[in-house]
Amino acid sequence: MTDLTATLESFGVESILAHAEAAGRLSQVEDELFRFGRIVDGTGELRSALTDRRAPAAAKARVVKSLLGDRSAPETVRLAELAATHRSTRFDHAVEGYLTIAARRQEQLTATVTTAVPLTAQQFERLTAALGAHYDRAVRVNAVVDPQVVGGIRVDIGDEVIDGTILSRLDEARRRMTS
């Protein structure tokens, strides 16, 4: 029964994304969903409100609608509601799964790039082009700014992590010194 439920849910997500694609909003939905996921992840109170298993689904849906409402594509709102009210999957995992499906629909990979400071438009374009050339397909880059990385860049793409941050280098040096 679990496989049937998962399959039906997957078809529902595909349907929502197909509607967004037909309306020319698939990239917008992917971007909005990614950003909303990051906001939820970075806001403890909001994360608790959307992940509390005891909270009624209707209350979670109201929170999503109040935050995204008319400011986002209707497909983004619906997917965020589904992620928040999902019974067996954590919010962040549900969003990640939806983003994977959206990227597949666009026949592209999605990379999450973390830097200490925002990339310039030129750096963003060069990085996107370099990743596309390396993976020999279109790559959508979601940029995240995290001052804790200190400097450098971290790229998460599929199951691969390329970590060139100063923080990771300092951690590696610390491990070598204590070994």
CATH number at residue 134: 3.40.30
Whether residue 74 sits in one domain with residue 121: no
Judgement on whether residues 88 and 137 belong to the same structural domain of the protein: no
Tokens representing 68?
């995204």
pLDDT beyond 70 at 138: yes
Q: How many domains does the chain have?
A: 2
What pLDDT score was predicted for residue 75? 94
Domain finish residue from 60, 78, 106: 106
pLDDT at 2: 62
How does residue 70 score in pLDDT terms, banded at 50, 70 and 90? Answer: confident
0.85 exceeded by pTM: no
Grade residue 172 by pLDDT with cuts at 50, 70 and 90: confident
Q: Are residues 57 and 128 in the same domain?
A: no
CA distances from 84 to 48, 68, 103 (A): 10, 13, 21
DSSP H or E segment with residue 131: helix 121-135
Residue 81: pLDDT over 70: yes
Give the domain extent around 174. 108-179
Longest dimension (CA), the chain: 57
Is the model's pLDDT at 148 over the cut of 90? no
pLDDT score at 86 = 80
Can you tell me the distance from the alpha carbon of 43 to that of 38, in angstroms, rounded to the nearest whole number? Answer: 9
- Please tell me whether residues 43 and 9 are part of one structural domain: yes
Please provide the average confidence, as pLDDT, over all residues in the chain: 87
At residue 8, the pLDDT reads 76
pLDDT of residue 161: 86
Same domain, 12 and 97: yes
Q: Are residues 76 and 134 in the same domain?
A: no
- pLDDT beyond 60 at 116: yes
What pLDDT score was predicted for residue 9? 82
- Of 106, 131, 159, the position where a domain reaches its end is 106
If asked whether residues 102 and 126 sit together in one domain, one would say no
What is the CB-side half-sphere exposure of residue 18 using CA atoms within 13 A? 6
**For residue range 1-47, what is the model confidence (pLDDT) as tens digits?**
567 777 778 888 888 988 888 888 988 999 999 999 999 988 889 89
Domain boundary among 78, 106, 134: 106
What per-residue confidence (pLDDT) applies to 140? 86
Q: What percent of the chain has pLDDT over 70?
A: 98
**CB atoms closer than 10 angstroms to residue 79:** 30
